[in-house]
Amino acid sequence: MFFLAFASGFAVLTIEIAGARLIAPVFGLSAVPWTAVIGVILAALAVGSHLGGRLADAGRMPLAAVLTAAGVGGVIPILGVDVPWLARDLFGFIGGALVTAVVLFAPAVLCLGAVVPFLVRADTESLGSVGRRAGDMSAAATAGSILGSFVTGFFLLPAFPLQVLLGLTAAFLFLLAALAAWILGRGGPAPEVLALGAVGVAALGYAMSRPPGDTLVQTQTLYASVKVTERTWEGGRVVREMWQNGGSSSAEYVDSGEPAHIYVRTSGDILRPVMERMDSVLVLGGAALSLPVAFQGWHPRGAVDVVEIDPVVTALAREFFAYGRKPYPAIRVEHEDARVYLRRPGPRYDLVYLDVFDHLLTVPWTMVTEEALSEMAGRLQPDGLLVANVLSPQAGVGAAFLQRFLATAERVFDGVDVYVTDSEVRPEAIQNLIVVASRDRTALPRSEQPRSAVGPAGRPLTDDWAPVEYLQARIFVEGVRWK
């Protein structure tokens, strides 16, 4: 019986961690979706425990039936891949994340919350031991959750496609139902039915894991949901893209290997007046290494250091993108957290390029605080430049993050300019904005690229207080507009 409690706790954390990855392409992995998933999971466990105690006392439903229902609930996230998109459209960013978690994950977890009350009643022979048995059973379930968090996060996610992992979890719940029927001997679905259900949901997960025709590879890493696609863009040219947590982090034209994202080309235009003195460049956030390769084309004699946290995306860059077409001995990639790299003693650079995102629009808050920008400034030559790629509107409530970021940058740098990549886009629409900063204002490039009228506003972001997820969620609340 203790194994049943342990296994149910393990399954809860597998659903929670895999579930967060499932909705990452729509909601990212910021505080908002994690809060939604964790809150809904805990609420479902509480309701399940409440109902489970009453069902166990009534004696009308065997535990095998409850676990079978959990297995059926485990099928919902396998089939509900479109639920996050629909929920965001109907209920907005925060509401959509909550609704998605309730629809996809609450049914199975609610059933799993009922397991411990059933087992406590079945394992208790007298009132004198009920407290001890309840404590032991809860401890077993908690121990399963602890192990489930480590095993799922460190091993299962990188080992299996997401839909396969969810299918195996649902199959595991059907097998637990069969084990409960065998141990407790109180009825429930026939073992043959449960075995067939386990095989069926595992096969369903495998079938649903097959990527669409335009997807070359799709995988889960320790850090993100990653895929590489190839499709025809407007204008008829074929583009290969790398996606991380639903955001397009790199894009290249297949025929030439040139970057397809406008922010890369615009960055080159902005830096052209000072490119000859950019002998050493640090890029924070490598993705498919399209930007470092572009720097090599702009300034062949320069050296580019890249800090990319995920070695899997570097391997994909070498396999599918221009980085793998020929040797680039001047590009050195280090797999490390960017803040850790910045804090270590190291060389000074003529340019630090900040290009980090953890979703479609959102950036890790640790990279945009006053402390983080000070560490970047400490790695620059006296006339060095910081360049940051920011996705934001220029007006409306969605511009709040950009304004706060500029206020933070002006605390560290003497000169800060903001350039637009497309002057025809309305101010309320989202586009790539290029922020260029230097401790020496005279070192800023004199570019003819159109500048943005947005300016600093609000309290600077710090490591102690950086509500980046809230500020960027306002873009989704207002509505994501690209034109």
For residue 430, pLDDT over 60 is answered with: yes
Q: Does residue 218 form part of some domain? A: no
Residues 269 and 351 in one domain: yes
pLDDT by residue (tens digit) across 154-176?
999 888 988 999 999 999 999 99
Token match 């560290």: residue?
412
Supply the pLDDT for residue 128: 59
Last residue in a domain, options 164, 183, 208:
208
For residue 419, pLDDT over 90 is answered with: yes
Supply the pLDDT for residue 353: 98
Residues 231 and 378 in one domain: yes
Last residue in a domain, options 182, 208, 234:
208
For residue 482, pLDDT over 60 is answered with: no
For residue 352, pLDDT over 90 is answered with: yes
For residue 436, pLDDT over 80 is answered with: yes
Q: Does residue 93 form part of some domain? A: yes
pLDDT (average), residues 319-331: 96
pLDDT (average), residues 68-85: 94
Supply the pLDDT for residue 129: 62
Residues 373 and 453 in one domain: yes
pLDDT (average), residues 85-96: 88
Q: Does residue 103 form part of some domain? A: yes
Of 344 and 483, the structure prediction assigns the larger pLDDT to 344
Residues 58 and 146 in one domain: yes
For residue 89, pLDDT over 70 is answered with: yes
Residues 329 and 463 in one domain: yes
pLDDT (average), residues 227-247: 93
Q: Does residue 474 form part of some domain? A: yes
Q: Does residue 219 form part of some domain? A: no
Supply the pLDDT for residue 156: 93
Q: Does residue 451 form part of some domain? A: yes
Supply the pLDDT for residue 382: 96
Number of domains the chain is built from: 2
Which residues does 443 contact at the CB level (< 8 Å), separation at least 6? 274, 383, 384, 385, 415
Supply the pLDDT for residue 185: 74
pLDDT (average), residues 347-369: 88
Supply the pLDDT for residue 363: 82
Residues 191 and 234 in one domain: no
Whole-number Cα distances in Å, 475 to 329, 418, 455, 469: 40, 19, 17, 10
The parent domain of residue 183 ranges over 2-208
Q: Does residue 217 form part of some domain? A: no
pLDDT (average), residues 136-142: 92
| 104-122 as b/e: b if 16+ CB within 10 A | bbbbbbbbbbbbbbbbbbb
Supply the pLDDT for residue 50: 94
Q: Residue 331: give its domain's CATH number.
A: 3.40.50.150
For residue 336, pLDDT over 70 is answered with: yes
pLDDT (average), residues 34-58: 93
What distance in Å separates the CA atoms of residue 112 and residue 460, rounded to the nearest whole number? 44
Residues 280 and 139 in one domain: no
Out of 97-111, 355-369, 405-419, least confident range? 355-369
Q: Does residue 220 form part of some domain? A: no
What proportion of the chain, given as a percentage, has pLDDT over 90?
Answer: 70
Supply the pLDDT for residue 245: 86
Q: Residue 176: give its domain's CATH number.
A: 1.20.1250
Supply the pLDDT for residue 451: 94
Residues 236 and 331 in one domain: yes
pLDDT band at residue 359 under the 50/70/90 scheme:
low
Last residue in a domain, options 208, 234, 260:
208
What distance in Å separates the CA atoms of residue 58 and residue 47, rounded to the nearest whole number? 17
Residues 130 and 267 in one domain: no
pLDDT band at residue 398 under the 50/70/90 scheme:
confident
Q: Do 81 and 21 contact (CB within 8 A), yes or no?
A: no
What distance in Å separates the CA atoms of residue 271 and residue 285, rounded to the nearest whole number? 19
pTM value > 0.75? yes
Residues 20 and 163 in one domain: yes
For residue 479, pLDDT over 60 is answered with: no
Q: Residue 295 CB: number of other CB atoms within 10 A?
A: 27
For residue 282, pLDDT over 90 is answered with: yes
Q: For all residues of the chain together, what is the average pLDDT?
A: 91
For residue 298, pLDDT over 90 is answered with: yes
For residue 421, pLDDT over 70 is answered with: yes
Residues 229 and 195 in one domain: no
Q: At what angle do helices 31-58 and 2-27 cross, to 10 degrees?
A: 150
For residue 334, pLDDT over 70 is answered with: yes
Q: Do 257 and 295 contact (CB within 8 A), yes or no?
A: no
pLDDT by residue (tens digit) across 209-221?
888 889 999 998 9
Q: What is the Cα gyration radius of the chain?
A: 26
For residue 9, pLDDT over 90 is answered with: yes
Whole-number Cα distances in Å, 276 to 273, 280, 344, 353: 8, 10, 27, 16
Residues 58 and 147 in one domain: yes
For residue 134, pLDDT over 70 is answered with: yes
3-state secondary structure 9-32: HHHHHHHHHHHHHHHHHHHCCCHH
pLDDT band at residue 148 under the 50/70/90 scheme:
very high
Which residues does 358 contact at the CB level (< 8 Å), separation at least 6? 28, 29, 30, 224, 244, 245, 364
pLDDT (average), residues 178-197: 85
